[in-house]
């Protein structure tokens, strides 16, 4: 028995139905969270087309809020500075392709939600820096031993060139300081000596968070 052929118009209708159904699920979750409707609806008004095309990422974002009630109290959700940050961050989140980096992105936003002064929390700087990192850059930064930050002879992977390019990327982004200087016996082919910058210390905690 031959399968019935589905014409192009029917395919479009099926796809539209799936998108509408997915959109309804996300909307229902958002509506179940008190006060989240304000930034969520503002985001839909501004980025509706992108949200429709990336429903899974919107779902991840809304579920993050739903699943962390201790971070998102009514006081936090009702804060205008938080709502502005929600809209700004969601726009960037929609365009992040990498799953590991989206997890870190959500960690950053959880940190933002707990900030006493959200207006001065470097949300844009953190998310922009994250966007500049490759997945290997992220894994390299995760391997940094913070306890050795005062050690002037610290090399992340010892005296070998493992991920040397990634280490230099982290230096260029201001996450690490290159402390190699002109020390004797150092060969440029080897890994540089580093310590983590104050900005890097703040940033790395979101990479090392277990979420």
Q: Which tens digits make up the pLDDT trace of 123-174?
A: 999 999 999 999 999 999 999 999 999 898 899 988 777 899 999 999 999 9
Q: Is the pLDDT of residue 121 over 80?
A: yes
Last residue of a domain, one of 95, 122, 149: 122
Residues 104 and 152 in one domain: no
Lowest mean pLDDT among 54-58, 64-68, 118-122: 54-58
Residue 130 lies in a domain: no
Residues 68 and 16 in one domain: yes
Residue 179 lies in a domain: yes
Last residue of a domain, one of 122, 155, 177: 122
- As to burial, measured by CB atoms within 10 angstroms (0-12 exposed, 13-18 middle, 19+ buried), residue 202 is middle
Residues 100 and 21 in one domain: yes
Report the C-alpha gap between 128 and 92 in whole angstroms. Answer: 9
Nearest-5° Cα angle at 114, 113 to 115: 95
**Count of domains in the chain?**
2
- As to burial, measured by CB atoms within 10 angstroms (0-12 exposed, 13-18 middle, 19+ buried), residue 42 is middle
Residues 115 and 156 in one domain: no
Residues with Cβ within 8 Å of residue 113, at least 6 apart in sequence: 71, 72, 76, 82
pTM: 0.82
* Per-residue buried b or exposed e for 171-185, using 16+ beta carbons within 10 Å of the residue's own CB: bebebbbeeeeeeee
**Can you give the pLDDT at residue 184?**
75
Residues 159 and 104 in one domain: no
Q: Which tens digits make up the pLDDT trace of 5-42?
A: 545 443 333 333 334 444 676 778 777 777 788 888 88
**Can you give the pLDDT at residue 122?**
96
Q: Which tens digits make up the pLDDT trace of 95-112?
A: 999 999 999 999 999 999
Average pLDDT value for residue range 63-67: 91
Residue 178 structural domain: 138-203
């Amino acid at each position: 028995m031959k399968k019935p052929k589905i014409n192009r118009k029917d395919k479009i209708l099926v796809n539209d139905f799936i998108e509408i159904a997915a959109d309804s699920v996300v909307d229902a979750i958002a509506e179940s969270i008190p006060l989240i409707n304000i930034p969520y609806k503002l985001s839909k008004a501004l980025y509706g087309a992108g949200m429709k095309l990336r429903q899974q990422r919107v779902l991840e974002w809304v579920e993050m809020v739903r699943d962390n009630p201790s971070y998102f109290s009514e006081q936090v959700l009702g804060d205008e500075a938080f709502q502005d940050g929600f809209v700004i961050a969601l726009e960037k989140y929609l365009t992040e392709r990498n799953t590991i980096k989206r997890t870190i992105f959500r960690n950053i936003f959880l940190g933002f939600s707990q900030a006493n002064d959200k207006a001065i929390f470097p949300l844009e700087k953190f998310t922009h820096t994250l966007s500049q990192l490759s997945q290997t850059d992220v894994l390299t930064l995760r391997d940094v031993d913070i306890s050795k930050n005062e050690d002037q002879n610290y090399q992340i992977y010892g005296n070998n060139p493992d991920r040397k390019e990634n280490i230099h990327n982290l230096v260029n982004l201001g996450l690490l300081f290159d402390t190699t200087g002109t020390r004797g016996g150092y060969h440029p082919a080897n890994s540089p000596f580093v310590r983590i910058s104050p900005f890097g210390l703040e940033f790395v905690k979101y990479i090392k968070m277990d979420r």
